[in-house]
Amino acid sequence: MTTLARATRKPAKAPGESKKGVRGRGSVPTVSGDVKCVKPSGKGGESPLPSTPAGVTDSLQFVTPAVRERLARLGILRLADLALHLPLRYEDETALVTIADAISGTTVQVEGRVVESKVSCRPRRQLICRVEDESGSLTMRFFNFYPSQQRALAARARVRLIGEIRQGFFGAEMIHPRFRVLRGEAPLPDALTPVYPTTAGLSQDSLRKLVARALRDVDLAETLPEPLRQQINLEPFAEAVRLLHQPPPQVNATSLQERSHPAWQRLKFDELLAQQLSMRLHYLRRSRQRAPALRSHGGLSRQLVESLPFGLTGAQVRALDEIRADLARPHPMQRLLQGDVGSGKTIVAALAALQAIESGYQVAVMAPTEILAEQHYRKFAHWLALLGVDVAWLSGSVRKKERDQALERLASGNTALAVGTHALFQEQVLFRNLGLAIVDEQHRFGVRQRLMLRMKGGQTNAQPHQLMMSATPIPRTLAMSFYADLDVSVIDELPPGRMPVVTKLVADSRRDEVLARVRDACASGRQAYWVCPLIEESEALQLQTAMDTYERLQREFSELRIGLAHGRMRSAEKAAVMNAFQAGEIQLLVATTVIEVGVDVPNASLMVIEHADRMGLSQLHQLRGRVGRGTQSSACILLYQAMLSELARERLRIIYENSDGFEVARLDLKLRGPGEILGARQSGVPMLRLADLESDMKLLEAARRVAPKLVASHPDLVECHLARWLGGRQEYLRV
Ligand code: ADP
Ligand code: MG
């Protein structure tokens, strides 16, 4: 008999190992643990959750409630989840080294006898055991241990240890090694040992046993049609799962550790496929709903285009054509309009809105922030006023009486278009016949708001069309994954005549030179932004810093008209400041990052960003996009504090070297991972545990190619695949 233990209460997961671990599992709502075999009922494709063949239940009834509760913490609710609970890494227990031969700093397995075991209380309570083999001795130290472990490690016990060996003050040491007390024969295993993500109270040994049991009982049926599987050159599913949990002796250890082994490829592919399939099904389900076919004569749009002081770019025309074709269909459009800051998405949205209005329908335009919404309102009102179209402004800053009137005109259908922030979603906003909803910076909205808006179609049963816009340029891989349930139009061309923004990195110690530049720019009739540092820890401190900066700059530039805009201002105040800046009454605008989106002042040609090292890359890129909107050359000065961390230095280098938002986003994705870039957690998109969007690009492409075909030709396999990977969860994804 042997016992395997780990003398710690912490999960058996070393720091830094958790990246691909249980992340994501817990972040999506889960439903009941059991998956029953239900045959599809009623309408096709409405996906019930079958997974196991009749007679076999996929439940964890055989474990105690306590263990079930621990498994649930890991997102394991069914046998299928156990089978897909894949090792974090593997340990090589197949070989022993002698203590004398062990190289300091490496992880090794040694075997020996405990010659001394004691609990010391200084400098802190710890269990110290000396272990000897024929070549030498080492000290084990445990800072957390159970009495049972202390007893097991009494003098004379024969033990096998795995851990990192270090030369300490008292000779060789292992801190918190994994140990196994040997009794009788204990042959070395002949294959790698999997190490699982786990949680308190669930040992690696128990998990291994549970997984073995799951592998025996669970349905590991293939979900890819054979010809397809061979065509994309993937391992059979069941074999791949077995290999990853119980690697045979001859397996290539490196490819297993690095997750490049064909078995890993198969599992990553399946995960990506599940994501694509579930999003594809939602897309199809929505596209079967009805929407008003907006087929207008185009009179108003033509008038607007003719009144513009510029011609549309080729990219704008292409995007508009795609949107128009969608709007003319009797099913809801689900399209994302993507384009870098300043690429001219707003006019495209306005022309799309006119198509709805001409067809006798109403339009909602919404934005995440008051400032952005107001910018939209101003533009739409300006453009549409020329055409005699009434535009309503719904915002927190509008007085109740005016607001009520606006709501009334919306309900009666007299107002064709409403712009607002979240206020637009509030219960009392009713449209007579909403035909199109335009959502800017859609990734900032959660699932819920989007759903609520869709329910406001008015008297008709039809759904409004949806146009989402995003200025957060998303790398292609991420878009493929995250927006698999949307059609995407990209404006990949900036309007002509834009001067590129020159980015400069300046150490904070050279602030005087920066002040001189601001003075020069304003003296020559241009305007500038001064962006205050982001202070994430405290909003109060952030506000304080903005106030201080404002006062300091006022003393510095007594000759300039300076304004201050920050997130805690009342909307009316903020709007007044922004209007004054727009009108040129304010020369220098001191602002927190509230100006990140939506400000469009072509005469502003200089931006100073303080403590740029604290900001995210996409944020810096968005900020920088606020200048360079006019015809004069523009600059963005990034002030940084000396003593930059490696990461901060890398980030500043990226923003300095790249002006293309897509490239910035791609590099950002590499540095930070997709969740943070898109706020993907709240989006309802299934998170990836195994696959990596950057390195598994080929698999993602294959999954994306295959998903529509499978949905069309093998709905039964699709159901099994989704049940296996998402369980009951897909019902909670985007609606
Ligand atoms: P974004 O895509 O960031 O929302 P906007 O729609 O705010 O960009 O457009 C940025 C600026 O470019 C606006 O002032 C807009 O009027 C102007 N603009 C849009 N399209 C063109 C074009 N084809 N030619 C010249 N200027 C344009
Ligand atoms: Mg915009």
Q: How high is the pLDDT of residue 524?
A: 93
Residue 347 CA, closest ligand 1 atom number: 6
- Quote the ligand 2 centre to 627 CA distance (angstroms): 13
Residue 535's pLDDT is what?
A: 72
Q: Is residue 40 scored above 50 in pLDDT?
A: no
Confidence of residue 617 (pLDDT cuts 50, 70, 90): confident
What's the CA-to-centroid distance between 337 and ligand 2, angstroms? 11
Atom of ligand 1 nearest to the CA of 602: 14
Q: Which helix (H) or strand (E) holds 129?
A: strand 126-132
- Tokens 């606020």 map to which residue? 626
Mean pLDDT calculated for residue range 126-133 = 95
Checking DSSP bridges between strand 107-120 and strand 2-5, what pairing results, if any? unpaired
By most ligand atoms within 8 Å of CB, the mutation choice from 305, 313, 346 for ligand 1 is 346
Residue 315 has a pLDDT of 96
Cα-to-chain-centroid distance, residue 420: 26
pLDDT at 538: 75
Instruction: Give the per-residue pLDDT at 579.
Output: 87
State mean pLDDT over 329-352: 91
- Block residue for tokens 């891989």: 477
Residue nearest ligand 1's atom 18 by CA: 344
- Rounded mean pLDDT, 216-233: 94
Distance 313 CA to ligand 1 centre (A): 10
| pLDDT for residue 426 | 61
Query: What proportion of the chain, given as a percentage, has pLDDT over 70?
Result: 83
Q: Tokens for 184, please give them.
A: 């009788």
Average pLDDT over residues 681-703: 74
The DSSP element (H or E) to which 466 belongs, if any, is strand 465-470
CA nearest ligand 1 atom 20, residue: 344
Q: How far apart are CA 452 and CA 649, in angstroms?
A: 43
| Amino acid at position 711, single letter | V
Low-confidence winner among 167-176, 359-368, 569-578 (lowest mean pLDDT): 569-578
Q: What is the DSSP string of 263-330?
A: HHHHHHHHHHHHHHHHHHHHHHHHHTS---------HHHHHHHHHSSSPPPHHHHHHHHHHHHHHTSS
Q: Evaluate if residue 138 carries a pLDDT over 90.
A: yes
The whole-number average pLDDT for the span 421-448 is: 71
pLDDT band at 296 (very low <50, low <70, confident <90, very high): confident
Q: Which atom of ligand 1 is nearest to the CA of 440?
A: 4
Q: Whose alpha carbon is nearest atom 10 of ligand 1?
A: 342
For range 321-330, the mean pLDDT: 96
Find how far residue 716's CA is from the centre of its chain. Answer: 30
Distance in Å from the first CA to the final CA of the chain? 53
**24 pLDDT more than 50:** no
How is 3-61 classified by DSSP, letter by letter?
EEE-S-SS-S--TT-GGGTTTTGGGS----S--------SSTT------S-TT-----T
Topology of the domain comprising 95-188: OB fold (Dihydrolipoamide Acetyltransferase, E2P) (2.40.50)
Task: Give, for ligand 1, the residue of 307, 312, 343, 599 to mutate: max count of ligand atoms closer than 8 Å to Cβ.
Answer: 343
Atom of ligand 1 nearest to the CA of 308: 16
Taking alpha carbons only, the member of 194, 143, 206 closest to residue 7 is: 143
CA of 656 to the centre of ligand 1 (A): 24
- pLDDT(70) > 60: yes
The ligand 1 atom at the shortest distance from the C-alpha of residue 497 is: 25
User: Which residues pair with residue 337 across a beta bridge?
Assistant: 469, 489
Least confident of 518-522, 571-575, 582-586: 571-575
* Distance (Å, whole) CA 233 – CA 228: 8
| Across 253-269, average pLDDT | 94
Please report the pLDDT score of residue 27 as a whole number: 31
User: Which atom, in ligand 1's list, is nearest to the CA of 629?
Assistant: 11
Angle at 245 between CA 145 and CA 711, to 5 degrees: 130
Ligand 1, atom nearest to 349 Cα: 6
- Please give the single-letter amino acid code of residue 98: T
Classify 173 in phi/psi space as left (phi over 0), alpha (psi -120 to 50) or beta.
beta
Rounded average pLDDT over 519-531 = 94
Compute, in angstroms, the gap from residue 346 CA to the centroid of ligand 2: 6
| pLDDT above 60: residue 39 | no
CA within 13 Å, CB half, 257: 8
What is the reported pLDDT for 422? 66
pLDDT of residue 371: 73
d(CA 321, ligand 1 centre) in Å: 18
DSSP per residue, 137-205: EEEEEESS--HHHHHHT-TT-EEEEEEEEEEETTEEEEES-EEEEE-S--PPPSSPEEE----TT--HH
Map residue 337 onto helix, strand or coil.
Answer: strand
Tokens read off for 561: 């008209």
Closest CA to 630 of 594, 671, 601, 663: 601
* Dihedral over alpha carbons 428, 432, 437, 442 (to 10 degrees): 10
Distance 606 CA to ligand 2 centre (A): 19
CATH of domain 299-491: 3.40.50.300
Ligand nearest to the CA of 622: 1
Q: Which of the listed CATH numbers 3.40.50.300, 3.40.50.1000, 3.40.50.1820, 3.20.20.70 matches domain 501-658?
A: 3.40.50.300
Please tell me the predicted confidence (pLDDT) of residue 220: 94
| Ligand 1: residue whose CA is nearest its atom 14 | 600
3-class SS of residue 419: strand
Q: What mean pLDDT comes out for the span 380-396?
A: 89
Determine the Cα–Cα distance for residues 141 and 114; give it in Å rounded to an integer.
Answer: 13
pTM of the model: 0.69
State which H helix or E strand residue 208 sits in.
helix 204-217
Q: Is the pLDDT of residue 551 over 50?
A: yes
Query: What is the structure's pLDDT at 424?
Result: 62
Q: Is pLDDT above 50 for 494?
A: yes
Q: What would the two tokens of residue 502 be? A: 């020159």
> What is the rounded CA–CA span in Å between residue 561 and residue 522?
10
Nearest C-alpha to atom 17 of ligand 1 is from which residue? Answer: 344
Domain pair 299-491 / 501-658, same fold: yes
State how far the Cα of 614 lies from the Cα of 666, in Å rounded to an integer: 19
**How many angstroms separate the CA atoms of 441 and 679, rounded?**
12
Q: Is the pLDDT of residue 592 over 90?
A: no
Centroid of ligand 1 to alpha carbon of 347 (angstroms): 7
CA distance 359 to 99: 83
> Could you please report the per-residue DSSP string of 600-662?
--TTEEEEEETTGGGS-HHHHHHHHTTSS-SSS-EEEEEEE-SS--HHHHHHHHHHHH---HH
Q: What is the mean pLDDT of residues 656-663?
A: 86
Q: Are 261 and 712 in contact (CB under 8 A)?
A: no
How high does pLDDT run on average in the chain? 82
Higher pLDDT, 432 or 687: 432
The residue assigned the tokens 């008999």 is: 1
pLDDT of residue 233: 95
Q: Which pLDDT band, with edges at 50, 70 and 90, does 10 fall under? A: very low
In whole angstroms, give the CA distance from residue 266 to residue 271: 9
Peptide bond into 708 cis (omega under 30): no
Which is higher by pLDDT, 123 or 526?
526
Query: Which whole-number Å values give the CA distances from 76 to 49, 526, 689, 700, in the listed order?
Result: 17, 60, 14, 25
Q: Do 197 and 211 contact (CB within 8 A), yes or no?
A: no
Torsion of CA 551, 554, 556, 559, to 10 degrees: -170
Atom index in ligand 1 nearest the CA of residue 491 equals: 2
Q: Which residues line ligand 1 (CB under 6 A)?
A: 310, 312-313, 316, 339, 341-347, 471, 495, 600, 629
Residue nearest to atom 19 of ligand 1 (CA): 344
Q: Whose atoms come closest to the Cα of 372: which ligand?
A: 2
